[in-house]
């Protein structure tokens, strides 16, 4: 924890006061540094008639639970955290099923095209795979463990269509606005088999966090800034996901606000490394899917709000012919969960982009 407390001010310092004195060079050939770290979406615009295809693989692992910023054991959850549905028939007073671990894999396919220097259009399609491990406690109370089970879901997520409009570009400073729409192509009715505290194994609709999409049309506004100075590049981006209306299952996922700040250094024309800080704020779910009713934290629409600060390290490699390979790994330095919720442990993003 001490180390983390020292890293953050050092990084913020580096972001706010990038080293000065690097004269700008106009290199020809590949420029690894002209891109933000691979975990940042919609970071750049293209020149007239330029195309880009991209593929990203992202994996995230979450293990152990927290409420607020402090850890909660499975036994504590099963004996002390009230069940959202207590008082209804067959419902225990505390939670009796506890998620212990979740992994999420995401395959992201993207296309970009610039009809003009000012405007770049972008389409992103995602394929998601989620897995959640649970422990079921026996009966209405106590800490006898009945067994473990894993639920899985996979499929296409929501499809994002965006426009990136360049507001300012003098070669060294660039600013563009992002405006996108997320289309509800992801399923919100995925099911799997669970183990109940009574020892039954029904197939139920999976909770909110295990579904593939939001079920609503979401507006994605944002703004991106980048500054190039010799071998240094630093940038910042604000992006939001604003939900509109209610989905067919009577709920609305929480809005999301994301703030990114990064700095990268080019060791060679074709190779750069980066550090990034990402702040994420997610709201709770509004409304509720009447089919998601079980003594488990993930069926409570009020257990989805969170704030998280992630620290990432990344590497970009660009080849002569418009190919770029990049990798970024990160972990939270701070997370505050309206919980109990599973805590995020680490994230990895690997990507390939081809511009032509
Ligand atoms: Cu691109």
CATH of the domain at 37: 2.40.128.130
Q: What spacing in Å lies between the alpha carbon of 112 and ligand 1's midpoint?
A: 5
* pLDDT score for 30: 53
pLDDT in tens, 247-263: 999 999 999 999 999 99
Is residue 18 one of the residues assigned to a domain?
no
* Structural domain range at position 313: 32-355
* pLDDT score for 34: 80
Q: What spacing in Å lies between the alpha carbon of 211 and ligand 1's midpoint?
A: 29
Q: What spacing in Å lies between the alpha carbon of 94 and ligand 1's midpoint?
A: 49
Is residue 289 one of the residues assigned to a domain?
yes
Q: What spacing in Å lies between the alpha carbon of 53 and ligand 1's midpoint?
A: 7
Please state, rounded to an integer, the average pLDDT across all residues of the chain: 91
Res. 28 pLDDT band, cuts 50 70 90: very low
- Alpha helix segments (H runs only) across the chain: 2-16, 74-80
Burial status of residue 200 (CB atoms within 10 A of its CB: 0-12, 13-18, 19 or more): exposed
Q: What spacing in Å lies between the alpha carbon of 263 and ligand 1's midpoint?
A: 19
Q: What spacing in Å lies between the alpha carbon of 44 and ligand 1's midpoint?
A: 6
How many folded domains does the chain comprise? Answer: 1
Q: pLDDT higher for 321 or 275?
A: 275
Q: What spacing in Å lies between the alpha carbon of 232 and ligand 1's midpoint?
A: 20
Res. 18 pLDDT band, cuts 50 70 90: very low
Q: What spacing in Å lies between the alpha carbon of 127 and ligand 1's midpoint?
A: 20
Res. 162 pLDDT band, cuts 50 70 90: very high
Res. 6 pLDDT band, cuts 50 70 90: low
222: CB partners within 8 A, 6+ apart: 42, 177, 178, 179, 180, 237, 238, 239, 240
Is residue 276 one of the residues assigned to a domain?
yes
* pLDDT score for 292: 95
Q: Is 172 left (phi over 0), alpha (psi -120 to 50) or beta?
A: alpha
- pLDDT greater than 70 at residue 156: yes
Is residue 151 one of the residues assigned to a domain?
yes
Percent of the chain whose pLDDT exceeds 70: 92
Q: What spacing in Å lies between the alpha carbon of 171 and ligand 1's midpoint?
A: 17
Is residue 207 one of the residues assigned to a domain?
yes
**Region 137-151 average pLDDT:** 96
Q: What spacing in Å lies between the alpha carbon of 255 and ligand 1's midpoint?
A: 26
Is residue 26 one of the residues assigned to a domain?
no
Q: What spacing in Å lies between the alpha carbon of 301 and ligand 1's midpoint?
A: 36
* pLDDT score for 78: 96
Res. 332 pLDDT band, cuts 50 70 90: very high
Q: What spacing in Å lies between the alpha carbon of 119 and ligand 1's midpoint?
A: 12
């Amino acid at each position: 924890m001490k180390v983390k407390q020292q890293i953050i001010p050092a990084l913020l310092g580096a972001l706010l006061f990038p080293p000065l004195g690097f004269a700008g060079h106009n290199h020809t050939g590949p420029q690894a540094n002209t891109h933000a770290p691979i975990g940042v979406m919609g970071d750049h615009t293209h020149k007239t008639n330029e195309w880009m295809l991209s593929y990203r693989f992202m994996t995230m692992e979450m293990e152990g639970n927290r409420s607020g910023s402090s850890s909660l054991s499975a036994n504590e959850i099963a004996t002390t955290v009230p069940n959202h549905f207590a008082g209804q028939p067959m419902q225990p007073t505390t939670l009796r099923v506890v998620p212990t671990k979740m992994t999420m894999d995401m395959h992201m396919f993207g296309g970009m095209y610039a009809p003009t220097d000012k405007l770049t259009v972008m389409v992103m399609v995602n394929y998601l795979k989620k897995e959640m491990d649970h422990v079921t406690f026996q009966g209405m109370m106590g800490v006898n463990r009945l067994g473990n089970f894993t639920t899985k879901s996979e499929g296409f997520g929501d499809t994002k269509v965006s426009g990136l409009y360049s507001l300012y570009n003098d070669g060294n400073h660039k600013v563009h606005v992002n405006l996108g729409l997320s289309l509800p192509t992801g399923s919100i009715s995925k099911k799997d088999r669970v183990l109940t505290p009574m020892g039954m194994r029904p197939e139920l609709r999976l909770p909110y966090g295990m579904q593939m999409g939001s079920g609503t049309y979401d507006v994605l506004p944002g703004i991106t800034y980048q500054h190039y100075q010799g071998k240094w590049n630093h940038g910042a981006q604000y992006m939001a996901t604003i939900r509109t209306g209610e989905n067919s299952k009577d709920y609305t996922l929480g809005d999301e606000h994301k703030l990114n700040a990064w700095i990268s250094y080019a060791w060679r024309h074709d190779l750069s490394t980066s550090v990034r800080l990402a702040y994420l704020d997610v709201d709770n779910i509004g409304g509720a899917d009447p089919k998601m009713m079980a003594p488990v934290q993930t069926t409570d629409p009020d257990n989805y709000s969170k704030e998280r600060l992630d620290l990432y390290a990344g590497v970009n490699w660009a080849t002569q012919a418009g190919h770029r390979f990049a990798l970024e790994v990160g972990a939270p330095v701070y997370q505050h969960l309206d919980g109990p919720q599973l805590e995020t442990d680490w994230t990895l993003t690997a990507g390939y982009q081809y511009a032509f």
